[in-house]
Amino acid sequence: MARRILVFGAHADDETIGMGATIALLSELGYEVRVVTFCWSPAGDWGDTGYARPEWRGSIAEMRRREALEADRVLGVRERVGLGLPTQGVVNDRATYQRVVELIRRCRPLAVFTHYRLDKHRDHRAVSEIVEEAWWKASESVLADLGEPWRARALFFYEVFELFTKPTHVADVTSTFGRKLEALQRFESQRPVLGDILSYAEGLARARGYLIGAKYGEAFQRSSFMPAPLQRELEALEDEAP
């Protein structure tokens, strides 16, 4: 099976805040990490509302496009795809849902990552709902014109500002956490919006790392939308045994 990972986010910095160090780690381990951003366009021409100064309104989309691509280079992202939807305007409609099904089938990832469903931001909640259901639908023998059916083995939620009470997995990202901070610094336009995001990221990473005895960690929660085969899980545990 190809070592591909597909990460979905609403806005261009979400995946970096939530799992940037994990993306860098997976890239170092030889995985092809691709990112899909709902409110982002390669042309920088969508309705972005993330501007802290009125004079940025006409240029914020291009600023965020450039910043995202710079962050991708730091983290080792293979490709970023934008769906060109307006910020605060992600809707779980038929066209968007089927586009996500198509992207999963085209990428054929080992695992999918997306937003945590319990989030204040309406775009984050919509993305989580769309992606989790599309993960299942992509595995069914329907919508043949959207590609061959594909079932990613797992879907994981990452946390941005709404945190998990009980994460199911924590990645030891001690070796790549510096790259996450470097990538976050690329989002200069968002500093007035996010505040001291670097301190927040470090504090959370230390708390998550503590859970597994590491200096820095990033937490995830595995989706139970589709069950995993028990035998495969037991085999994975055997492989991890000392």
The pLDDT of residue 100 is 98
Distance (Å, whole) CA 236 – CA 111: 15
In the chain, what are the domain boundaries?
Answer: 4-240
pLDDT above 90 for 50: no
Total count of residues recorded for the chain = 242
pLDDT in tens, 190-220: 888 889 999 999 999 999 999 999 999 999 9
The pLDDT of residue 192 is 82
The pLDDT of residue 49 is 52
> How would residue 135 be classed by pLDDT, with cut points 50, 70 and 90?
very high
> How would residue 237 be classed by pLDDT, with cut points 50, 70 and 90?
confident
> How would residue 45 be classed by pLDDT, with cut points 50, 70 and 90?
low
| Phi, psi (rounded to 5 degrees) for 61 | -65, -45
* Number of other residues whose CB lies within 10 A of the CB of residue 185: 15
Per-residue pLDDT averaged across 21-46, rounded? 89
What's the CATH class of domain 4-240?
alpha beta
The pLDDT of residue 47 is 47
pLDDT above 80 for 239: yes
Distance (Å, whole) CA 157 – CA 155: 7
pLDDT above 60 for 224: yes
What contacts 205, CB < 8 A, 6 or more positions away?
21, 173, 177, 180, 216, 217, 218
* Number of other residues whose CB lies within 10 A of the CB of residue 28: 13
Distance (Å, whole) CA 15 – CA 114: 8
User: pTM of the prediction?
Assistant: 0.93
pLDDT mean across residues, the chain: 92
pLDDT in tens, 64-112: 888 999 999 999 999 999 999 988 999 999 999 999 999 999 999 999 9
